[in-house]
């Protein structure tokens, strides 16, 4: 199956939104307010409306203008109330579809533009960018299809598109590695990142870029730790601890290295004492220089309770001071 055939399969499943709307039932695609503890107010049904917009666009469905206007208004309400700024493909598609109608809708364009700050800075009803969305959709390559599946929460299709992308992707540099690593991570295929991380290290070694080499070794260190492959993680620790990292003191990358060290210590691997001996003086320096953050404090307390209880008590006190200073309960 080609990625275009797979795209058609995915889009055809969205007819379930089209038929009810054509019969006047917007219940599955109208704005519906939701609240998230971290992300604030959002539209529960934005994804369903986005799927419908792509379905109409791809199949060039003829939709009465009043339906397009209603969908446009629902999307505006999302843009006006969402805690996150910006505007996505739904408003672009609806803009294109309405802009080719016989009637003009200046009041809709104005509402969309004023929906939030990002819309005001970037939304224009007559942009070529929006029109290209309509023309290029049938010619999407595998990655465009992957992004569409990802944006519309079609995870099973996204995984299939990802496999297609990997089969044709030529890795030329570190940027290509990072690109595929990002997709693997987003789609829960983190275990597939080992070869890409090693390839990224190879590029860094070939360039003899010491900063990039340290960063690449850290990425492998963190990867193996998270995969609970502790023997391989310790090998990466040995490599990093044998390098001159002084140029990274006080920088977040070095703190991330310390955090992975603490993860190994808290996993109680056989080499715990060696890792603690190396990490402890660096942690003390970070505390002295106010370079710690929440997770690093917590993991330090957990590790030091086992390795150095007296130090653990001191860290706890510093953590309470840090929380108070940062107004964290």
Interval 120-129 mean pLDDT: 80
Output the pTM of the full model: 0.84
With a cut of 90, say whether residue 192 has pLDDT above it.
yes
Average pLDDT, the chain: 93
With a cut of 90, say whether residue 37 has pLDDT above it: no
- Given pLDDT bands bounded at 50, 70 and 90, which one contains residue 134? low
User: For the chain, what is the HEC assignment?
Assistant: CCHHHHHHHHHHCCHHHHHHHHCCCCCCCCCCEEEECCCEEEECCHHHHHHHHHHHHHCCCCCCHHHHHHHHHHHHHHHHHCCCCCCCHHHHHHHHHHHCCCCCCHHHHHHHHCCCHHHHHHCCCCCHHHHHHHHHHHHCCHHHHHHHHHHCCCHHHHHHHHHHHHHHCCCCCHHHHHHHHHHHHHCCCHHHHHHHHHHHHHHHHHHCCHHHHHHHHHHHHHHHHHCCCHHHHHHHHHHHHCCCCHHHCCCHHHHHHHHHHHHHHHCCCCCHHHHHHHHHHHHHHHHHCCCCCHHHHHHHHHHHHHHCHHHHHHHHHHHHHHHHHCCCC
């Amino acid at each position: 199956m080609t990625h275009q055939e797979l795209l058609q399969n995915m889009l055809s499943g969205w007819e379930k939104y089209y038929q009810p709307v054509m019969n006047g039932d917007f219940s599955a695609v109208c704005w519906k307010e939701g609240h998230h503890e971290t992300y604030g107010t959002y539209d529960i049904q934005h994804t369903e409306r986005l799927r419908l917009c792509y379905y109409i666009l791809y199949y060039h469905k003829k939709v009465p203008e009043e339906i397009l206007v209603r969908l446009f208004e629902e999307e505006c309400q999302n843009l006006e109330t969402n805690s996150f700024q910006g505007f996505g493909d739904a408003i672009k598609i609806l803009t294109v579809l309405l802009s080719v109608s016989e009637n003009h809708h200046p009041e809709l364009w104005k509402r969309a533009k004023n929906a939030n700050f990002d819309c005001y800075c970037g939304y224009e009803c007559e942009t070529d960018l929006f029109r290209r969305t309509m023309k290029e959709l049938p010619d999407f390559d595998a990655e465009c299809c992957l992004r569409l599946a990802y944006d519309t929460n079609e995870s099973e299709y996204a995984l299939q598109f990802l496999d297609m992308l990997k089969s044709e992707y030529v890795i030329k540099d570190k940027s290509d590695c990072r690109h595929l690593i990002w997709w693997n991570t987003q789609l829960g295929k983190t275990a597939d990142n080992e070869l890409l991380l090693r390839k990224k290290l190879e590029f860094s070694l070939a360039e003899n870029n010491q900063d990039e080499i340290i960063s690449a070794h850290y990425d492998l260190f963190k990867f193996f730790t998270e995969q609970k492959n502790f023997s391989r993680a310790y090998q990466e620790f040995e490599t990093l601890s044998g390098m001159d990292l002084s140029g990274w003191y006080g920088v977040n990358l070095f703190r991330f290295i310390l955090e992975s060290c603490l993860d190994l210590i808290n996993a109680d691997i056989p080499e715990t004492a060696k890792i603690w001996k190396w990490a402890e003086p660096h942690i003390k320096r970070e505390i002295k220089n106010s370079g710690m953050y929440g997770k690093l404090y917590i993991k330090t307390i957990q590790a030091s309770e086992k390795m150095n209880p007296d130090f653990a008590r001191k860290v706890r006190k510093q953590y309470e001071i840090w929380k108070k200073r940062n107004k964290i309960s």
